[in-house]
Amino acid sequence: MTGKSLSDTIEDMQTPASPAEKLDMGGIVSSEKTQRQMDTLATLALNREGGFQELRGGSLGVRLATSEEEIRAAQALRYRVFFDEMGAHPSEEALKTRLDADKFDEIADHLLVVDHALGAGAAGVVGTYRLLRSDVLGENGRFYTADEYDISCLTDFPGRLLEVGRSCVAREYRGRAAMQLLWRGIASYIFLHRIDVLFGCASLHGTSPETMSDELTWLYHNHLAPPALRVRALPERYVSMCRTDPATLDRRTCLSKLPPLIKGYLRLGGYIGDGAVVDEQFNTTDVAVLVKSELLADKYYRHYERRLKDALD
C-alpha cells in the first residue's frame, strides 16, 4: 500500500501530531497525520466489492442494512425500545405500523447488530444506530439535531460531518458485546468516509430536568465543548444545565447516573453542547454530544492492527 513496514506504520499512528500539524478552528479538522491514519484504516473496512465489511464477535455481527426489510426491522426494534419500553408517545401512523420511522431514514445508513443465531437478515437484527453524513443531505438539507440545537458552528465548517442517532439495543442484548460492536462499526464507517466530526443528541430518560440536576451540571462543568464545536440549544428549547453547585458533586456518583451511551461518548473524549432540550414525545431530556474523529481513531485503531498487518505484508 505505502511501502512502509508495519512497525513504521503503527509507530506513525501512535505518534501525536505536533501543534504545527493542526489546522485552525480549534483543531476541528484532523491533522495530516490523523488523516493518513484514517486513510490507511479506511481501506481495511472494504471488502473486494468495495462495500462495508461486517465485523464479527461470536454470533454477533455489525454491518450496514442492505435491504428495505432490514431497515424496517431496525425501525421495529426502535419502536419496541422507545415506545413500548421507554414510554415515548407514538403518532397515529407509528401506532398503526409499530415502526419508528421518519424522513431521515430514507437517506441515512443504518448500522445493524445482527445475531446470526437468529438469522443472517432482518430476523437477526438486535441493535441499530442511524448514520447520516453531511454529503448526502443535499444543498438545502437539515440534520435531525437542528430541530433542537443551533449547529451552525458545525455546518459552516467545510469538513465532513456524521450525525448519529436512534441508537438502541434489544433488552436481552444490552451487555458489553453489542455496544462494543456498534462502536467498532461507527469507527470503521468514520474511517471509510473520512469523517471529521461525529455529533448527535443523546438522551437521559425523563422530562424533568430537576431530577437530573447533578448529571446535567457535572456534564456542563467537565465536558463542555470548546467554542469552535459548541452547539447551543435553540432559544425556545434551551434548558440550563447549570442547576446545582458543581463543587458539591461526586464524579463517580454522577457517572453512575448517566446512560451507558453518554458514558461511551465521554470515554472517547467526547464533548457536550450548551443547554439541554426536553423532548416530550420521546420522554427524554437530550444533550448534544460531539466527538472529533481523531479521538475515535486513537481509541480504535488497535482493533484493526491485525488486519493492517495482513494488508501491508
For the chain, percent of residues with pLDDT exceeding 90: 66
pTM: 0.80
Residue 312 has pLDDT above 90, yes or no: no
Written as one string, the DSSP assignment of 258-307 is S-HHHHHHHHTT-EEEEEEEEETTTTEEEEEEEEEHHHHHHHHGGGGHHH
**Cα angle value 66/81/216 (rounded, 5°):** 110
Query: Rounded to whole angstroms, how far apart are CA atoms 133 and 86?
Result: 27
Residue 64 confidence (pLDDT): 96
Residue 13 confidence (pLDDT): 33
Residue carrying C-alpha cell 462499526: 185
**Mean pLDDT, the chain, as a whole number?**
83
Residue 172 confidence (pLDDT): 95
CA distances from 164 to 128, 132, 288, 306 (A): 11, 6, 11, 28
Query: Rounded to whole angstroms, how far apart are CA atoms 134 and 153?
Result: 14
* Highest mean pLDDT of the ranges 7-11, 49-53, 174-178: 174-178
H/E run at residue 132: strand 125-133
Query: Rounded to whole angstroms, how far apart are CA atoms 205 and 212?
Result: 9
Task: Please provide residue 56's backbone torsions phi and psi, each rounded to the nearest 5 degrees.
Answer: -120, 150
Written as one string, the DSSP assignment of 36-80 is HHHHHHHHHTB-TTSSBPPEEETTEEEEE--SHHHHHHHHHHHHI
Residue 86 near residue 174 (C-beta atoms within 8 A): no
Tens digit of pLDDT for each residue in 148-169?
A: 999 999 999 888 999 999 999 9
CATH of segment(s) 6-312: 3.40.630.30
Tens digit of pLDDT for each residue in 224-263?
A: 999 989 999 999 999 999 999 999 999 999 999 999 889 9
Higher pLDDT, 35 or 137: 137
Using left for φ > 0, alpha for ψ between -120 and 50, and beta otherwise, residue 190 falls in alpha
Strands (E), 148-231: 149-150, 161-169, 197-205
Residue 304 has pLDDT above 50, yes or no: no
CA 109 to chain centre: 12
Tell me which DSSP letter residue 13 carries: H
Residue 13 near residue 31 (C-beta atoms within 8 A): no
* Highest mean pLDDT of the ranges 46-50, 182-186, 295-299: 182-186
Residue 169 confidence (pLDDT): 96
Lowest mean pLDDT segment, chosen from 46-50, 163-167, 210-214, 246-250 = 46-50
* Highest mean pLDDT of the ranges 66-75, 183-192, 288-297: 66-75
